[in-house]
Amino acid sequence: MLVKFSVLIGYLSCLPWIAWSTDGSLNMMLTYLHAVGVCILLYVLFFASATLAEQKTNDLYGLRHILFNVELPPKTMWFNMGLWDKKGIRFPTACENLVHAVVSKMDMKAGSSVLDVGFGCGDSCILLAETYHCQVTGLTNELSQWKIAEKRVSSQEHLRNKIQLIHGSADNIHQWLPPTTSFDYILSIDSAYHYNTRWSFLKDARDKLNIGGVVGLYDLALDDSFANGTRSPFATLFLKCICKAMHVPIRNLVTVTEYKRIVSDLAYLNVQVQPLDRRVVFGGLANTLAQLDVTTKQYGIGVSLSNKLFLKASRFIFDVLAKSSIFIPIIVICRKEGTETM
């Protein structure tokens, strides 16, 4: 109990700093978020833990044996927003759906070479190799994810000669790829908005494409009404907080029209920018995170405090994005000039 009170008191001690160091809209925003955080902490530290403690007190074994049935490492380790186009689908399926939605528009052919940028723990690379029968090179700057993906690929003999994984940044792909290496396709699912900047990445990607090669992205654009209309200070501050939390450079925030124009100016042809329904991306993920919170409690599976806060904050953010006109999820397809040789 002492630890719980210490955590709560430590968090409450941030309030005087907010009051003294900020003013105006920033003060209102931080005060509101602090209040939300207090509510979450109270629930997580006391109400949720009380329910679990009650189960332990009344039962000899309770639900501890569920841990014996948890498969580790899991078969999949997907990490994107997903495409929730059907009811009742699970997170891995939604993530696969998002990759399929982009790849289907790239007209990807078997035996082609693919650069997969921002591949997470390797699931998209494995999908490209096994389902689309491509030769895959993966690039990510997340060291922990690269290590897991490397272990997964090296442990499966049929993947060793099909997938090469590189730890490096998308901000300068020339640094990590041999000068003579080029690709038929370059794919980036749910990560291009992080790049510093997306436009520099697309310029470098064009240099690494074969003639007639195709780039496919799942990305985010600003809603026209938000970008060009009158918006409240709260909405503006919310956007800035989201960008800071998600490491999104401000220069990457453009409307669909601006996005298409900039990509065309980079000498890409047949530029397509397809908006997706917020509800089947942001909304589906928010609902799944809410269900995950309920399920872990129902089955007595302990989640660390930091992960609980991560889940609750993520659910809050995606719920707001699903219900407001701030971001538009988009699929982007563009081709390098020249005759297709694939």
Domain of 171, CATH number, reads: 3.40.50.150
- Are 11 and 98 found together in one domain? no
- Are 100 and 243 found together in one domain? yes
- Are 26 and 153 found together in one domain? no
- Are 276 and 129 found together in one domain? yes
- Are 108 and 174 found together in one domain? yes
Per-residue pLDDT, averaged over 114-118, amounts to: 98
Model confidence at 44, pLDDT cuts 50, 70, 90, reads: low
Kindly list the distances between the CA atom of residue 227 and the CA atoms of 153, 256, 311, in Å, as whole numbers in the listed order. 42, 11, 28
Q: What is this structure's pTM? A: 0.82
**Is position 146 within any domain?**
yes
DSSP codes of every residue in 191-206: -GGGSTTHHHHHHHHH
Q: What is the pLDDT of residue 42?
A: 66
Q: State both tokens at 35.
A: 């209040």
Share of residues in the chain with pLDDT > 70 (%): 83
- Are 117 and 53 found together in one domain? no
> Please, are residues 173 and 207 in contact by the beta-carbon 8 Å criterion?
no
**Is position 308 within any domain?**
no
- Asked if residue 286 has pLDDT above 90, the reply is yes
Range of the domain at 49: 1-62
Q: What is the pLDDT of residue 27?
A: 65
Q: What is the pLDDT of residue 341?
A: 45
Q: What angle do CA 306, 308, 310 make, to 5 degrees?
A: 70
- Are 330 and 182 found together in one domain? yes
- Are 18 and 128 found together in one domain? no
- Are 116 and 184 found together in one domain? yes
- Are 58 and 144 found together in one domain? no
Model confidence at 246, pLDDT cuts 50, 70, 90, reads: confident
Model confidence at 99, pLDDT cuts 50, 70, 90, reads: very high
Average model confidence (pLDDT) across the chain:
87
Number of structural domains in the chain: 2
**Is position 44 within any domain?**
yes
- Asked if residue 50 has pLDDT above 70, the reply is no
- Are 112 and 29 found together in one domain? no
- What is the per-residue pLDDT across 149-160, written as a single tens digit (0 to 9) for each? 999 999 999 999
